[in-house]
């Protein structure tokens, strides 16, 4: 029996990071796979964009699961689901979401500690119980499954690095397989986070963190680098800039810089 969770887990090695490519449809999944991606992930923001919605609690669990199934079916690569806060406040909501994600064929999911659609974090004790419930559900599965626990307060400005580290340490003790605190204030803070835990740590390659290399992250002991919605937003930048030139200036020059259709076809084929 194919076990995408086992394949996915084996990629997580501290100091030898792999790129977790966040995609938003079957086409982007197949292109990234053809170009050498080792694993894929959904992105709640990128998915929301495809539905004409903003990011942040606008996707339902059923929508996220159906979307994830499309990505899983597109390639043989393991896929992680970006499942926001687990689609519910209660620990059992997180456990149920994890079980449904496994049934959908995912290799893992990430669950964050933010009480969406607000920006406020869950109380630490509740945040830990939510991860404990999800980890218990994962261990009860008939196959491997990688649970990533996110501490989003650094990115949202709702708590500092000391609280983020305390949460990540507690998430690890509760059974999380991978730890993730997006966008700490500095590389020094990131180094503190990696050193404070023994589980693999994920880094988001966005904003100032996109200016550092894979080698930089390897030197810190990072295990995984995800893209979040960065690649999707890059495509929107191309669309927006081209549309402004066409609709505002009457020039179609941006369209001359597109990739040949045959090249896309070859990657998809």
Is there a domain that residue 269 lies in? no
Q: How far apart are CA 74 and CA 28, in angstroms?
A: 9
For the chain, give percent helix, strand, coil, nearest 5. 50, 15, 35
Q: How far apart are CA 155 and CA 189, in angstroms?
A: 12
Is there a domain that residue 244 lies in? no
CATH number at 106 reads: 3.20.20.60
Taking the complete model, does pTM exceed 0.85, yes or no? yes
Is there a domain that residue 22 lies in? yes
Domain count, the chain: 1
Is there a domain that residue 133 lies in? yes
pLDDT of residue 182: 97
Is there a domain that residue 245 lies in? no
Digits of tens for pLDDT over the chain (269 positions)?
579 999 999 999 999 999 999 999 999 999 999 999 999 999 999 999 999 999 888 999 999 999 999 999 999 999 999 999 999 999 999 999 999 999 999 999 999 999 999 999 999 999 999 999 999 999 999 999 999 999 999 999 999 999 999 999 999 999 999 999 999 999 999 999 999 999 999 999 999 999 999 999 999 999 999 999 999 999 999 999 999 999 999 999 999 999 999 999 999 98
Is there a domain that residue 65 lies in? yes
Tell me the β-bridge partners of 224. 18, 202
The string over 77-113, giving b where at least 16 C-beta atoms fall within 10 Å of a residue's C-beta and e elsewhere, is bbbbbbbbbbbeeebebbbbbbbbbbebbbbbbbbbb
pLDDT of residue 201: 98
pLDDT of residue 57: 84
Domain containing residue 59 = 4-230
Is there a domain that residue 268 lies in? no
pLDDT of residue 251: 97
Q: What is the pLDDT of residues 28-82, one digit of tens each?
A: 999 999 999 999 999 999 999 999 999 888 999 999 999 999 999 999 999 999 9
Is there a domain that residue 90 lies in? yes
pLDDT of residue 1: 54
**In the structure encoding, which two tokens stand for residue 250, read together?**
């009457």
């Amino acid at each position: 029996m194919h076990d995408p969770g086992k394949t996915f887990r084996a990629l997580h090695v501290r100091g030898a990071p792999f790129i977790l490519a966040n995609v938003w449809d079957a086409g982007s999944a197949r292109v990234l796979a053809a170009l050498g991606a080792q694993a894929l992930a959904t992105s709640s923001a990128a998915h929301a964009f495809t539905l004409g919605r903003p990011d942040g609690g606008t996707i339902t669990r059923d929508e996220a699961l159906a979307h994830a199934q499309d990505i899983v079916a597109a390639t043989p690569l393991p896929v992680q689901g970006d499942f926001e806060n687990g689609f519910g406040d209660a620990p059992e909501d997180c456990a149920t979401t994890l079980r449904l994600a496994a049934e959908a064929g995912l290799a893992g999911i990430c669950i964050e500690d933010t009480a969406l659609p607000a920006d406020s974090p869950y109380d630490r004790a509740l945040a830990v119980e939510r991860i404990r419930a999800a980890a218990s559900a994962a261990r009860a599965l008939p196959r491997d499954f990688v649970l990533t626990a996110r501490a989003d307060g650094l990115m949202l400005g709702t708590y500092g690095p000391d609280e983020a580290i305390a949460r990540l340490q507690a998430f690890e003790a509760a059974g999380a397989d991978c730890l993730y605190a997006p966008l700490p204030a500095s590389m020094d803070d990131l180094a503190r986070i990696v050193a404070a835990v023994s589980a693999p740590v994920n880094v988001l390659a966005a904003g100032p963190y996109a200016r550092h290399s894979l080698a930089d992250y390897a030197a810190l002991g990072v295990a995984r680098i995800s893209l979040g919605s960065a690649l999707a937003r890059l495509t929107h930048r191309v669309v927006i800039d081209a549309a402004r030139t066409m609709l505002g200036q009457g020039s179609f020059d941006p369209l001359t810089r597109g990739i040949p259709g045959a090249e896309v076809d070859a990657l998809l084929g």
